[in-house]
Amino acid sequence: MNVSGTPQRALRILPVLLLAAGAALAADAATSAAADERPAGQRLYGRHCLSCHQADGGGVPNMQPAIAGGTWVTGDARALALFVMTGGFDSAQRKESDNSNVMPAFGHLPDEDLAAILTYIREKFGKGASAVTPAQVAEARSGIPAPSGQ
Amino acid sequence: MRTHLVRVVSLAIAGLAAAAAAADDSGLKLPEGFSAVVVQEGQGTARHLAIRANGDIYLAGRNGLIAMRDTNGDFKADVVTPFGDVKGTGILIHENHLYVSDDVGVYRYALDPNELVPKGSRETVVDGFPRERQHADKTFALDAKGTLYVNVGAPSNSCQEKDRQEGSLGMNPCPILEKYGGVWVFDGNKLNQTPADGRRFSTGIRNAVAIEWNPGANGLYAVIHGRDSLDTLFPALYTAEDNATRQAEEFHRLTDGGNYGWPYTFWDNKVGHRVLAPEYGGDGKKAPEAGKYPDPLVAFPAHWAPNDLLFYSGKNFPAKYQGGAIIAFHGSWNRAPEPQAGYKVVFQPMKNGKPNGAYEVLADGFAGEIADNNPRNARYRPVGLAVAPDGALYVSDSQKGRVWRISHGGK
């Protein structure tokens, strides 16, 4: 530490240091307790979606598309729920996409988790699109044909 | 007399301008004694590059091919000419031909003496590879005789029944390996071949964008893109931190008949040995049958994305670089939510074709601060490498199409 500064200067620096130390402590605490304190939608987005679509919803060029502001996220909630549950393997959009990676299906997630994720991305990336309820997800799910043989 | 003075002053000013132009304007972090200049920028999504004996530079890219020439010796490209209709990554010069590749084939143009842009139409060396989206670039290497080694990347992360689907198990045996996930060999001097004319040289290679013939060791080498998404696909076994760090980018010498373990295994940087992939019965620790797959020469950190490789034999760099490997790491995306990493050019000392000491960073500072931890926001991403006749190293970037010239000793 620089000891040649005037007392006034030291006094000016001290609060900054205290603030920095406080922020560091807060950051540590946030890291250690983060997992379960984030809202469910954000936590589940981090768990299932973030590595491909990234924290800012911006996607990765040529790999996975941006979802922020996109019509899937801002548009019809039922269509969005259906797409996320079934993935992009057979979608018409897939054929026109320049992105290398395919969207897997998330139909194995419960209605509540899907509703929380969809609400989160519509809130954060959807230009104010409405929240999605578990009932809406269940309704969309009822329209998916059962796999053959079942 | 006065006219003479004006001429001298003008020359002096021109000299100063040239010296200023050659000063390091690169923004790169380099070891002591090295400096860099920006050769060119603005040609879009650049990929690999090749340099001819007369110094002409050829850049492959997603938007097509570009020929560049420095006409006044300041290392800046003064002539920049798009040509041809091949959009891809691979590009090499062999015996007065410029070889280039896209997602479905390898082609070549005859180079005319002293003409920057090839005049003749392109010839097909091999084409007809199935059009895929994932790991589709047919990067390649050529040995001195013109044997062509083509990287046929696997259109899959880990050969799951449903690609990148949580919990989906691996197909066993992995049918993708019949046509992909390996290196196929062709006669690079023969035209109009199809994939069926090739022979599988080695297998178990997820995607070797960085593939290169090493004349000093008379062998084929590659740095392989390791698998993604351990944590999202198998959350009971792996955390996000595990996914960000454990699966190595493996550097191998590829041999005829060699099998490098994809998709059944990967080299785990944490446990320090090869492990079974979770799609194939792996539990985070279990090793495959001993001796079945080779250990990597070097296990690089996860997700750094090795996108080009060369072996240095130029005159400009200090002696320790001779015969060593230089690798361009494009940088990660799948490390998120952990901080992204890679985005640098690395030097791996080699002796007799084998690693000789630890790797070190040769050039860094490409990416800058990556806003929102999203690779889209990296300032630059190193993607291609070539050595000029004077021994300087050229590096290309995929974000803005920038090309740097890195040299030692102010030369």
**Strand, helix or coil for residue B69:** strand
CA dist., res. B50 & res. B297, Å (int): 26
Query: Given this model, what pLDDT does residue A90 score?
Result: 59
Q: Does A133 touch chain B (CB under 8 A)?
A: no
Q: Does A55 touch chain B (CB under 8 A)?
A: yes
Query: Given this model, what pLDDT does residue A148 score?
Result: 59
User: For residue B88, is pLDDT > 90?
Assistant: yes
| Contact in structure between B350 and B323 (CB atoms under 8 Å) | yes
pTM for the whole thing? 0.88
Tokens of B401: 């199409």
Which whole number is the average pLDDT over A25-29?
39
Query: Given this model, what pLDDT does residue B25 score?
Result: 85
More confident residue, B26 or B147: B147
Contact assignment for A47 to B163 by CB distance below 8 Å: no
Closest-CA distance of chain B to residue A79, Å: 20
| Digit-coded pLDDT (tens) for B187-198 | 999 999 999 999
User: For residue B13, is pLDDT > 70?
Assistant: no
Structure-token match 């002796």, residue found: B351
Of residues A51, A97, A101, nearest to B336 (C-beta):
A51
Q: Residue B301: count other Cβ atoms within 10 Å of its Cβ.
A: 18
More confident residue, B151 or A97: B151
Of residues A55, A59, A62, nearest to B373 (C-beta):
A55
Q: Lowest-pLDDT range, B10-14, B73-77, B140-144, B251-255?
A: B10-14
Residues 6 or more apart in contact with residue B268 via CB below 8 angstroms: B246, B247, B248, B274, B275
Q: Does A30 touch chain B (CB under 8 A)?
A: no
Q: How confident is the model at residue A36 (pLDDT cuts 50, 70, 90)?
A: low
Which whole number is the average pLDDT over A27-42?
62
Q: Does A54 touch chain B (CB under 8 A)?
A: yes
- Which of B306, B187, B184 is CA-nearest to residue B254? B184
Please list the alpha-helical segments (H only) found in B287-391.
Answer: none
Q: How confident is the model at residue A139 (pLDDT cuts 50, 70, 90)?
A: very high
Q: Lowest-pLDDT range, B18-27, B93-102, B286-295, B337-346?
A: B18-27
Q: Helices (H), strands (E): how many in chain B? A: 3, 28
Q: Lowest-pLDDT range, A14-18, A133-137, B376-380?
A: A14-18
Closest-CA distance of chain A to residue B133, Å: 5
The nearest alpha carbon in chain A to B230 belongs to: A51
CA dist., res. B184 & res. B204, Å (int): 12
For chain B, what is the mean pLDDT? 94
Query: Given this model, what pLDDT does residue A143 score?
Result: 83
Q: Residues 72-101, chain B: which have Cβ within 8 Å of A?
A: none
Query: Given this model, what pLDDT does residue A89 score?
Result: 61
CA dist., res. B277 & res. B265, Å (int): 5
Probe site for chain A from B89, B132, B159, B166 (most A CB atoms < 10 A): B166
Q: Does A101 touch chain B (CB under 8 A)?
A: yes
| Digit-coded pLDDT (tens) for B117-145 | 999 999 999 999 999 989 999 999 999 99
Of residues B163, B167, B240, nearest to A102 (C-beta):
B163
User: For residue B1, is pLDDT > 60?
Assistant: no
Which chain B residues have a beta carbon less than 8 Å from that of A87?
Answer: 165
Q: How confident is the model at residue A140 (pLDDT cuts 50, 70, 90)?
A: very high
Q: In chain B, pLDDT over 90 holds for what percent of residues?
A: 91
Query: Given this model, what pLDDT does residue A91 score?
Result: 57
Q: Lowest-pLDDT range, A135-139, B9-13, B162-166?
A: B9-13
| Digit-coded pLDDT (tens) for A128-138 | 899 999 999 99
Q: Does A110 touch chain B (CB under 8 A)?
A: no
Q: How confident is the model at residue B114 (pLDDT cuts 50, 70, 90)?
A: confident
Q: How confident is the model at residue A25 (pLDDT cuts 50, 70, 90)?
A: very low
Closest-CA distance of chain B to residue A39, Å: 16
Contact assignment for B165 to A105 by CB distance below 8 Å: yes
Contact assignment for B135 to A104 by CB distance below 8 Å: no
Which whole number is the average pLDDT over B60-73?
96
CA dist., res. B135 & res. B62, Å (int): 14
Q: How confident is the model at residue A94 (pLDDT cuts 50, 70, 90)?
A: low
Contact assignment for A55 to B372 by CB distance below 8 Å: yes
Of residues B157, B167, B337, nearest to A50 (C-beta):
B337
Contact assignment for B333 to A51 by CB distance below 8 Å: yes
Q: How confident is the model at residue A144 (pLDDT cuts 50, 70, 90)?
A: confident
Which whole number is the average pLDDT over B316-339?
97
Tokens of A18: 């205290």
3-state secondary structure B25-64: CCCCECCCCEEEEEEECCCCCEEEEEECCCCCEEEEECCC
User: For residue A92, is pLDDT > 70?
Assistant: no
CA dist., res. A148 & res. B379, Å (int): 49
Closest-CA distance of chain B to residue A115, Å: 19
Contact assignment for B337 to A89 by CB distance below 8 Å: no
User: For residue B374, is pLDDT > 70?
Assistant: yes
Query: Given this model, what pLDDT does residue A87 score?
Result: 87
Q: Residue B256: count other Cβ atoms within 10 Å of its Cβ.
A: 11
Query: Given this model, what pLDDT does residue A99 score?
Result: 87
The nearest alpha carbon in chain B to A64 belongs to: B333
One-letter identity of residue B86: V
Closest-CA distance of chain A to residue B180, Å: 16
Q: For chain B, which domains are there? A: 27-408 (2.120.10.30)
Q: How confident is the model at residue A21 (pLDDT cuts 50, 70, 90)?
A: very low
